């Protein structure tokens, strides 16, 4: 049985990456060469649709560093608090 897609939050410096993967810990580990200090903050059930919705939610008044990385501030923290975020 295939693992369900997860939406993850990962911090690197003052940026938070919002992405989706079947295995968030492995996905975040794959970024360590380019971003040695990256840390998985947690993940929730969901796929690309939820990821896109979170990107759109985070986008207003946020200086996006890249397509899926955002400055860490309250608008980014709020969805993580409301969703049941697992750190496993």
Give me 77's structure tokens: 């923290």
- For residue 63, the tally of other CB atoms under 10 A from its CB is 8
Per the model's pLDDT, the better-predicted residue between 32 and 59 turns out to be 32
Q: Which of 59, 54, 56, 62 is nearest to 79 (CA)?
A: 54
Is pLDDT of 19 > 70? yes
- Residue 50 within any structural domain of the chain: yes
The whole-model pTM stands at 0.78
Which residue range is the domain that position 53 belongs to?
6-82
- Residue 17 within any structural domain of the chain: yes
Query: How much is the pLDDT for 65?
Result: 54
Domain count, the chain: 1
Contact 62, 13 (CB under 8 A): no
SS3 70: strand
- Residue 41 within any structural domain of the chain: yes
Is pLDDT of 23 > 90? yes
- Residue 67 within any structural domain of the chain: yes
């Amino acid at each position: 049985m295939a693992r369900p897609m997860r939406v993850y939050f990962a911090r690197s410096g003052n940026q938070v990456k919002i992405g989706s993967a079947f295995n968030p810990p492995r996905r975040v580990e794959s970024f360590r060469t380019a971003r040695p200090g990256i840390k998985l903050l947690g993940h929730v059930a969901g796929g690309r649709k939820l990821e896109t919705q979170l990107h759109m939610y985070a986008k207003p008044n946020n200086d996006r560093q890249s397509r899926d990385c955002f400055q860490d501030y309250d608008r980014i923290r709020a969805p993580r608090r409301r969703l049941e975020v697992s750190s496993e």
